[in-house]
Structure 1
Amino acid sequence: MPGPPPAPPAPELLARARLLVAPDVGEPVVRELERITGRAGERAPGNAPDGPYLHVGASLPEALRTGRLVWFHSVNAGTDALLDSGPWPPDALLTRTVGRMGERIAQYVLAWVLAECQSVSEFTAQHARAEWRRLPCEPVAGRTALIYGTGRIGSVVAGLLRGCGIRTVGVARTPRPVPPPGFDLVIGADAETEELGAARWVVAALPLTDATRGYFGARRFSAVRGASFVNVGRGATVDLAALGAALHAGTVRRAVLDVLPREPPAPDDGCWRLPRTVITSHSAGITADADVVADFGACWDELRAGRRPALAVDVSRGY
């Protein structure tokens, strides 16, 4: 069993740590980080400093993965690529940027849900043919959305869908007697089969870990009965061959994929030929500079108070 996550760095250690910033972090963000920490930001050098340091960026070079790293703040929400690229220093804190990503992703999901129910693509095709024909529209209220991932992002998605009268069921590692905000019900993964069959939409908002790689495969897709599948989590959580088979069989009605196992896909990649599928360019929840600054500042304040930040990542779990 993995051990507990490390304790947050002591405020006195944080007070003397140097601030290193990755080259791809913009100058406006650097100035805000300097304002928050009260020290000059240094573009990350090729070698680790002699004393303690904290780092802000999207990736952490191997040369900086030392025991002197106090804290790494990721400018991204997902940290799987960061953790997969090399051993993580055992005592270093890892935090991530979420910002308003949940809000953006929730609006993305709702937009596709409503577009499908209002026959937007069909009306668009009819317009191109100068064709006048009434198409039925499907009310969303009373339908079920099964949402995999009940954390910060999944909860916001559930809340927006629920506001339209959609029944929201979350899937978590263990069921929750009291569902988080936004959910009507949260079940464990061992009780999902019935809900998969009843769902009108299946929304994937899972992080990528060893446990979730290929999570949506033939077994889960075979339990679907006409739901549309939307992936706003991580591309590698989905077996695209299994999804393609379910689309061809009709058990999955449509698919909207904002993330893929390999990005960007080549023009001849088979994902472009999946039936009744729309692929968007990993753009559902683009992180803004203001998100990085706000979340770094929140983590800084919590650390200064001696608390583990709410945005801290449990490295042993990957989220």
Structure 2
Amino acid sequence: MSTQKIAVVTGGNKGVGYAIVKGLCERFKGTIYLTARNEERGKAAIAKLKELGFQPLFHQLDITDQASVNKFKEHIQTTHGGIDLLVNNAGILYSKDASEPFAEQAEQTVAINYFGTLRISEALFPLLRNSARVINLSSSAGHLYRIPSADIRAKFSDAALTIPELSKLMDKFVKDAKENKAEQEGWGNPPYCAYIVSKVGVSALTIIQQRLFDKEVPNRNISANFVHPGYVKTDMNTKGHLTIEQGAKAPLYLALDANLKGKYVWFNCQVVDWYGETTPPKV
């Protein structure tokens, strides 16, 4: 079993995820896994990186599918025994002109962005080695004050909030969306509030994860941070103006350079107060 350092990037076949893998290939001293839900697209991304002289590995991974998650975990555990870096990048954002009903958008967005991130985290966290780093891709939409309701914000920011309680809060949003009550309950304006709630969930999850890491005995000295990569031009966000390489800057900073724990980091690598009422410009 190898003791070589292992990095894993979810949703790495395109966009910011691809740029993160590429940046890791340039600087991370170890084995890098590019994972993707679609095997064909994942392998095409690997081929593209190999043309540049890099040697990342591919493994299929659908963070919404427990069987896929279990298979990947078993592969890592058997082949390498542990992980040193986990970048939870996989996610979804419906376009503004999406035809799917809001209830469907809410359910799917939360299922992938929040529950998918939680699922892969719960599977792989036991494999994290001492001083491992976890980076969760959030968003400017993931800031606490993007939620209009003060009562809901208080629940998200409760210092005693547990992961099961947070998951119940996310389920409550989906239920409210299905009952056409999301706006009146204080979650925000449909349909974009689905993305906001999902990313606020990721942000709150990261804070709880760091709190749990800090309480571990023996302590593995693991860091978990969350990041807004910026207004990046991708197929999810065609109006963005940053390149994918610029969007990868802050995640790579957290992966390779920063010594931070439980922080919210902007695309320019600035630490932002997640609890504060204002944020720097999102671009």
Q: TM-score range by the shorter chain?
A: 0.3 to 0.5
Q: Could you state the TM-score of these two structures normalised by the residue count of structure 1?
A: 0.31
Choose between structure 1 and 2: higher helix proportion. 2
Q: Could you state the TM-score of these two structures normalised by the residue count of structure 2?
A: 0.34
